[in-house]
Structure 1
Amino acid sequence: MHTLSILFFALSSSSDNFVIGLSYGAKKIKIRFINNLLIALISCIGTIAAMLFGKLFIRLIAPGYTNMLGSSILMLFGLFMLLNTFKKKSNDNKELTYDNSSKVHHYNEIINHPEAIDKNNSNTIEFKEAIVLGIILCINNIGLGIGASISGLNIYITSLSSLIFSILFIKLGYYFGSIVTSGKLAKYSEIISACVIILLGIYELFI
């Protein structure tokens, strides 16, 4: 079993949860355990769906090329995340409001300014807001899930690990965000996550 690879995947797929936790902790926006669990469950379901799609896709590929393709997807996805992190411009002074008609292209803005999810300014992430946040975080796991599945990672163990790390990383991020400035930690978290995904692709290529 690809134990180390599953651990790498869980860490990488939960990096945005850590960034969001940092932001909420810094801004004192509370998130109850039940809503944190809901976010993690939605993200987990997205991971399972993506990995199942990856398994179906494997059937169209010659057996000798599946590992190479899965590794390539992970490396390219990690490289894309790394380049995207470096290209981001600072929009800290820009106010962001969330609209129900917003689509996937608002993903980065929501990750960078997750307080926009708190539409009623209650300083608490409520049930409906947790659903929206879970769906947005789920987007990040689609490409990762497909690549990980093609590489041969176990669907259910990987998804369960992702769920557990999702819960822990929001709590951990909240703790650090409440005691330190979150900006630099968030930046480094994204870079580290991208590098871990690239390393995961390389690792999977040779095992």
Structure 2
Amino acid sequence: MVSFSMLLLAFAVSLDSFGTGLTYGMKEIKIPIKSVLIISSCSAITFFMAMGFGHFLERFLSPQAGQMAGGLILLGLGSYFLFQVAKPDKRAETVPKEKTIVKLEIKSLGIMIQILKKPTIADLDKSGSINGWEAVLLGVALSLDAFGAGIGAAMVDMPPITTAFTVAAMSSIFVLAGIKLGFAVSKVTWMKKLTFLPGILLIIIGLMKL
């Protein structure tokens, strides 16, 4: 059964999908339904694996300690996301763009992939459409950032299969909604006001589970 906390978690970790879909829509780059399904499948698989790892960690903790650890992980992730939103970006983009396809930057309990900074990079063949391996690349980029949340979800006893499918469904809906809106609007400045939402939602879930 899908709980309110599960929906809230899926909403929080899927907001990147909406922003990415919006970016593609505004660039008039299409993502076919087949590619959306590939992206959502990557989200489900990665989240399920993260929850499996979380359940493995639970073996070394008492039920109460595991519940608290999961809540603290989600609380910490939410705080980290808020810190990233508030922190001014001082990094200058000095790397030649033609040499940068995928850049991994390890962070605490998460991985930021440069494709999320500039989603159009995923359109490797410049066809104006995301297909095949391009969809896999984008799906992995979107899902890896939620790995830490998956660990936390497992440790607060959310069911792995149901949660993974809920995240996948929410991701699909958000990608499609973002694309539709992106094609319809020409400015995205109002979206910047929503960048704090994932952090706030994860903090709420974490506090609910403590």
Q: Give TM-score, length-normalised by structure 1.
A: 0.89
C-alpha change, 1:194 and 1:45, in structure 2 (3 Å) is same
Q: Which residue number in structure 1 is paired with residue 170 of structure 2?
A: 165
Judge conservation of contact 1:176–1:182 (CA < 8 Å) in 2.
no
For this pair of structures, how many residues does the alignment match? 205
Separation in 2, partners of 1:125, 1:141: 22
Post-superposition shift, 1:187?
A: 2.3
Moved more, 19-28 or 56-65: 56-65
Q: Report if aligned partners of 1:19, 1:189 keep a CA contact under 8 Å in 2.
A: no
Give the secondary-structure state (helix, strand or coil) at the position aligned to 2:146.
helix
> Larger deviation: 79-88 or 49-58?
79-88
CA deviation after TM superposition for structure 1 residue 185, in Å? 4.2
Partner of 1:38 in structure 2? 38
Distance 1:83 1:104 in 2: 17
CA distance, structure 1, for counterparts of residue 84 and residue 169 of structure 2: 26
- RMSD of aligned Cα (Å): 2.4
- Percent of aligned pairs sharing the same letter: 28
Q: Greater share of helix residues, 1 or 2? A: 1
Shift of 1:84: 1.0
Q: 1:57: Cα distance to partner? A: 0.5
- Structure 1 residues not aligned, in runs of 5+: none
TM-score of the superposed pair, with normalisation by structure 2: 0.88
Q: 1:152 offset after TM fit, Å?
A: 1.0
Are 2:2 and 2:162, in contact at CA under 8 Å, matched by a contact in 1?
no
Give a deviation string over 1:141-170, Cα, whole Å, max 9, x none. Answer: 210000011011111111010010011000
Structure 2: runs of 5+ lacking an equivalent: none
User: Helix, strand or coil for the counterpart of 1:31?
Assistant: coil
Give CA deviations for 1:99-138 in whole Å, capped at 9, x if unaligned: 4563345835321310111122211112111111111112
Q: Is the 8 A contact 1:22 1:176 kept in 2?
A: yes
Specify the alignment match of 2:208 in structure 1. Answer: 203
Whether 1:7 and 2:7 are equivalent positions in the alignment is: yes
